[in-house]
Structure 1
Amino acid sequence: MLSIGELARRAGVTVKTVRFYSDRGLLPEAVRSGGGHRLYGIEALERLRLIRSLRALDLPVPQVGRVLDRGEALEDVVARQLGELGTQLAALRWREAALRLLHDCTAEQRAERLRLIGAVASPPSTDAMVRFWHRVLPARLSSRLASAIIDAAVPQPPREPRPEQVLAFARLHALVAPAVDGCLAERLPVRVQRPDALYDGLFEAYDLASADLLAGRAPREGAALDCFVSAHARSLGRQDTPGFRRRLGVMLTQAAEPAMDRYWALAREVTAPSSPSGPAQPTLGAVHEWLRAALDVQLARSA
């Protein structure tokens, strides 16, 4: 049997530490001596070393107890700790970039930037942008398509943001925040007779056009434009005719919203790689503008 002092000495900890773990049930004593002193079996030494190892990983005492006595898999506990640590590191990287943004600016810029950054959580959340798109998209749109559009339209903050990306994300957050006067979501009423028919076709057209954008091609006629026009025609119960294309060109011009151009520009800044090996993946807004320009090109030629 080991006394509490001997156990502490062999494990390289203080007597106070052994008593702490004993009082919390992590290190049960074997017996008490005639004088009331704690005595431990030799197996307590290995258990104490394991407790120290787990605590060195910053596992809370209750979790250590669950691993030791309740059979909770250590890999599950470690996975949770990794997730929590990742969140903490993301918050620290965001704060560092935000502080650099405030440090490397003029006094006139600092007040506005501080207001913008102060409205964003750390680590940043995309909840405001998700709510914005839920308000903008047609109510009768299927959840499948709504989720796909939101996934593609909402930029995820980078894991290691640069100061300019922090500023772009904060401005994007402010743009869609419902508290802003003249909320953007209220200015974008989307009325579509058959929303699934429209957005299914648009996704196909966007996929085709993305290849053209990545290749640096100018807006032009082709399969992407035909798919784009066909999606609009089906959603309205019309035929794809030269007359419909002219009307569609007018409709798209009238529906243009400068604030949405701002949204897509900021989204591109948020997701821009620091050292791209090639062109960045275009946003939905960039693809839409390419297709709209392609339609204008075709209409100009036909005229």
Structure 2
Amino acid sequence: MFRSHDGLCSIGELAERVGVSVKTVRFYSDRGLLPEASRSAGGHRRYAPDAVERLSLIRSLRGLDLPVPEVRRILDEQDAASGAGGALEDAVAGRLRVLGSELRALRWREAALRLVQDCPPAERSGRLRLIGAVGGVPSTAALARFWRSWLPVKMPARSVTAFLEAAVPHPPDDPRPAQVLAFARLHAFVSRPCGGSAPCQPSAHGAAGARESAVLYAGLAEAYDLAGWNMRRGREPCPGEALDGFVDAYARTYGTRDSPGFRRLLAGRLAADPRIDRYWELTAEVLSPPGVRPEPTPGTAHDWLLEALDADVWTTPGEGGPSDARQAATPPRTY
């Protein structure tokens, strides 16, 4: 209790009791967060004893960097005596998300600064241009735009989303300078993907309508997973279940069946398609820590399957069905 005759205190006494400035108390009062109990005859603000606890709570919430509207919602919920605590929970969770984003941006900027600091003076200008094009907070929007121009025009949105999740690398939360450089180079690569007269899309996309493109990329995703299983074990490209699924995805797209003749045709078409090996090389650099074998990407899995297809085309005799050479290169069915 305050010692005044009416049990109330002045704005100065309240500020002193809580350890804030008079200006701060006036700010929260004017915004309705700290109600006045009354005014003196001279028009001075007077506050009830519970204003101490309320002002302390406001100061604590603001100390957590919660904005005034969030503080208002928390106080309103407390005044309603609902006991739910949802407003405080939501505010804290939201602030944590914001801080997480800010910390990731700061770590990215730190790695970018180290990249510039540690490179030879003659290379600094070029690296600054690369990093500056990406921006302070790296975005994958340019990478997504690149793939949307590469994929079949009529490909269903769900299939596009699934492919983008696999093909677009997200910058690591705590990057090394080398990863910053790789991502900046990747951004530069996709910003000019179709220079000159080179085609932007593989020829296989020309025959793919909405249904066919969904079938094609669903089948390719399974084949890439199976190829990745082999790649993680250091196995050389060879015929097997991964290659059979790869060829079958294209065969169904073209409305035909798998055969040695189709495999030769497919090998020729895929060999003539535009190459984006640099994209996958840089993707591996963005995602992989130093000294660790890069994880398979859709691109490296595709190349593994192309090599397996070439080997099969040149070794498969006659016009029989697809090779059944699974042996050690075939993963267990539970994969």
Q: 1:132–1:185: 8 Å Cα contact kept in structure 2?
A: no
Aligned-residue offset at 1:291: 0.6
TM-score using structure 2 length: 0.84
Residue 130 (structure 2) pairs with residue 88 (structure 1): no
Name the amino acid aligned to 1:175: F
Tell me how far 1:64 sits from its aligned partner: 1.4
* Distance in 2 of aligned mates of 1:214 and 1:112: 35
Structure 1 residue corresponding to 2:255, chosen from 221, 237, 245: 237
Identity %: 56
Query: Are 1:269 and 2:285 matched, yes or no?
Result: yes
1:122 aligns with 2:140: no
CA contact (8 A) 1:128 1:176 kept: yes
Q: Which residue is 2:112 aligned to?
A: 98
**Distance in 2 separating the partners of 1:38 and 1:28:** 10
TM-score under structure 1 length normalisation: 0.92
Which residue does the alignment assign to 1:111? Answer: 125
Larger radius of gyration: 2
Superposition CA RMSD, Å: 2.0
* Cα pair distance change 1:186/1:112, threshold 3 Å: farther
Partner of 2:233: 215
- 1:1-303 alignment to 2 at 5 Å? 1-69=8-76, 73-178=87-192, 182=195, 187-188=200-201, 190-193=205-208, 194-257=212-275, 260-273=276-289, 276=292, 279-302=293-316
Aligned residue pairs total 298
8 Å Cα contact 1:176/1:183 also seen in 2: no
TM-superposed deviation, 1:288: 0.4
The amino acid of 1:133's aligned partner reads W
SS in 2 for 1:125: coil
Q: 8 Å contact 1:136–1:185 — kept in the other structure?
A: no
1:206 positional shift: 1.1
3-state SS of 2:206 partner: coil
Letter in 1 for 2:52: L
CA contact (8 A) 2:167 2:297 kept: yes
Consecutive unaligned residues of structure 1, counting only runs of 5 or more, are: none
Structure 2 residue ranges without an equivalent (≥5): 1-7, 79-85, 318-335
